[in-house]
Structure 1
Amino acid sequence: MADHDAWRELAEIYVSLQMYKQAAFCYEELILAQPTIPLYHLAYAEVLYTLGGLENLQTAKKYYASTIQLTGGKNTRALFGVCLCSAAISQLTKGRNKEEESSELQSLAAEALMKDYKRRAPSMEALVAGMLKNMKLS
């Protein structure tokens, strides 16, 4: 078993035991060892999102964005992650400390989600549009 396999296995065990800080450490090690694997960036972002708190949410958003970059914008889960992080950060900061770069990222993610659903699941497009509207992202 390679080192990265052990880290991945340990991370999955920690997630199943809801030991998210320990799982985050394992995913950090995986990203250091294999930085081009989008799955590790995505899993790390999800763990950080689960931990919550402003700093974790901001970092999670960056890792969702890196997943999108590594997959060429083809990861719907990461697109949703950016939208969810943006909404949560907006709630926590109540509109203060708005970054133009951040609002551009959330707009692009929302737009990409709508295009993806229009192409793959047109029957769900209205539902996604409503969700984004409720999160004040579109």
Structure 2
Amino acid sequence: MASSLTVPQAIQELKIAQARGHRDSNEIVRKGLFVLEQKNGLKMLGEDVWDFLEQMAVAALDIGQLELADDCIQRLAEQFPKSPRVEVLQGQRIEAKDLDMAIKYYETLLDADETNVAAWKRLISVLRQQNKMDRCISELTEFLDTFYSDLEGWLELADIYASVNLYTRSLQALSHALLLAPQNPFHTLHFAETAYTANDIPLAIRYFLRTTELCGDDSRGVARRAWFGVRLCTKHLTLHPDSPSESATKPMSTSSLNALGELATERLLAAYSSTSEKAVVPGRKEVLKLLGGSGTSR
């Protein structure tokens, strides 16, 4: 730890990492140990000491510093006996030792309180780690029947279905995610790419286009991938106008496909030809060649 770092600075950086959901566990443990090693370090945290110990416990478990995790969890358990959050931390500690034992532990917690969301999610996570996919899907489906608005749960279910090549079911799960977060272009792009993988090209192109609408004038990142998806779809549908659609999405006219193909090519050429992006866009030359553009900037 740099000697120039002060305890207040370390505490502030840890708070920022926690607020933003950053999971750089090595860095969290380094800064946390720095605070712990200083005289009155914990006292300087005030009422934030418990959040600090929880953050440290999770990070220590991530990188295998089990003694440090045990110390943090023990302090929390002494302060908050029977706390559901602490009980789940204790479960994560058991996971580091024995996954089967962790499953039994989470089942015990859920027998005592069937609304224990954190324990239910950890149970689902462990089942997936052990590749017990049937029960994992069953538990997650039941969880979502109870807590419909859990966006992360629907995304997890979509990912699980996709991992076993059940793309239609993955799309069904993603459709719920879109209902919960209709303005999020990442989820719309995810839906479009899954539809493309499922070979429902008419459905995919409509959601690629929806993604470009949500991104506005942004020509980078998500929008670029969406326009590339539009380009692939228009090419496919032009060559195979009778492509089947399991979702029964109506096909576009040839004139619409041609216009969209030209627009997608134009947007991609503009994005990949931008002088300001030359150094940061991976595969720039290859994409320009594929699109029929030159490797030089305009």
Shared fold (TM-score greater than 0.5)?
yes
Alignment correspondent of 1:72: 216
- Alignment of 1:117 with 2:272, yes or no, is yes
Aligned partner letter, 2:259: E
Matches within 5 A, 1:1-138: 2-52=149-199, 56-74=200-218, 75-93=223-241, 98-119=253-274, 120-121=277-278, 126-133=285-292
TM-score (norm 1): 0.81
Aligned partner letter, 2:290: M
Which one has a bigger Cα radius of gyration?
Answer: 2
> Which structure carries more relative contact order (alpha carbon 8 Å, separation 6+)?
1
Kindly provide the CA deviation profile for residues 13-58 of structure 1, in whole angstroms up to 9, marking residues without a partner as x: 1122221111110111111221101111111111111111xxx211
Return the structure number with greater helix share.
Answer: 1
TM-score (norm 2): 0.40
Calculate percent identity across the aligned residue pairs.
Answer: 29
Q: Is 78-87 or 124-133 further displaced after alignment?
A: 124-133
The total of aligned residue pairs comes to 128
Contact 1:11 1:26 in 2 (8 A): yes
Q: Where in structure 1 are there 5+ consecutive unaligned residues?
A: 134-138
Aligned partner letter, 1:89: L
Aligned partner letter, 1:25: Q
Aligned partner letter, 1:121: K
RMSD of the alignment, in Å? 2.2
